Amino acid sequence: MPKVSDGHPSYLVVNADESEPEICKDKEIMRQVHKLLDGCLIAGVGMRASAAYIYIRGEYVNERKNLERARKEAYEAGLLGKNACASGYDFDVHIHFGAGASFVVNKQHFWRALKENKGNQDWSLLSLLMQDYMAVQLQSQMLETVAVSPTILRRGPEWFSSFGRKNNSGTKLFCV
């Protein structure tokens, strides 16, 4: 994201599509949906985003329902929405589930994934993007990156970098 805002809105896009063959790490991470929502808020504040859009694989029905339930709880508790966490910062989280493998890595992929998924359109997002498509700032992140950020901030970067080897530190979830 640009260090200085150009006045256009910024959004965080979280890729939970998991379209890589034989990988199920996102599904495992989404069992702790509150960490994901916390990570969205932390990343959103850091990049001056007004909202996060989580693009979740359509086949992950239970995970989506759990995420929607957690999101509702977070709004009710005042952790998301207007004045999120009583901080004066407004931040919304939207969930969009796909109809197949659409890998969302940038504006063009995100736009195409929304347009091609006729069964589940978030019309408010579509109209927003259509109004000012090229000016909107999108930052796409993988689910794993966003979900681990609250733990890194709580325990510190030294803790995170204590795992692994020099120049290749931190944790990584693999599916074998």
pLDDT (tens digit per residue) in 32-46: 888 899 999 998 888
The answer to whether residue 139 scores a pLDDT higher than 70 is no
pLDDT at 126: 46
Q: To 5 degrees, how large is the angle CA 57–CA 113–CA 99?
A: 40
For all residues of the chain together, what is the average pLDDT?
Answer: 76
The answer to whether residue 104 scores a pLDDT higher than 60 is no
Q: To 5 degrees, how large is the angle CA 73–CA 77–CA 81?
A: 90
Q: Give the contacts of 65 (CB within 8 A, at least 6 positions apart).
A: none
pLDDT at 29: 79
Question: The CATH number of 10-169 is which of 1.10.940.10, 3.40.50.720, 3.40.50.880, 3.40.50.11540?
Answer: 3.40.50.11540
* Alpha carbon distance 110, 94 (integer Å): 14
The answer to whether residue 103 scores a pLDDT higher than 50 is no
* Alpha carbon distance 50, 57 (integer Å): 23
pLDDT at 53: 84
Give pLDDT tens digits for 57-88.
778 888 889 999 999 999 999 999 999 999 99
* Alpha carbon distance 169, 45 (integer Å): 25
Looking at the chain, the whole-number percentage of residues with pLDDT higher than 90 is 22
* Cβ 14 vs Cβ 55: under 8 Å: yes
pTM of this prediction exceeds 0.75: no
Count of CB atoms situated within 10 Å of the CB of 12: 27
HSE-up of 148 (CA within 13 Å, CB side)?
18
In which band, very low, low, confident or very high, does the pLDDT at 123 lie, cut at 50, 70 and 90?
very low
The answer to whether residue 8 scores a pLDDT higher than 90 is no
Alpha-helical regions (H) of 59-141: 61-76, 107-116, 123-131
CA 25, 26, 28, 32 torsion-angle sign: positive
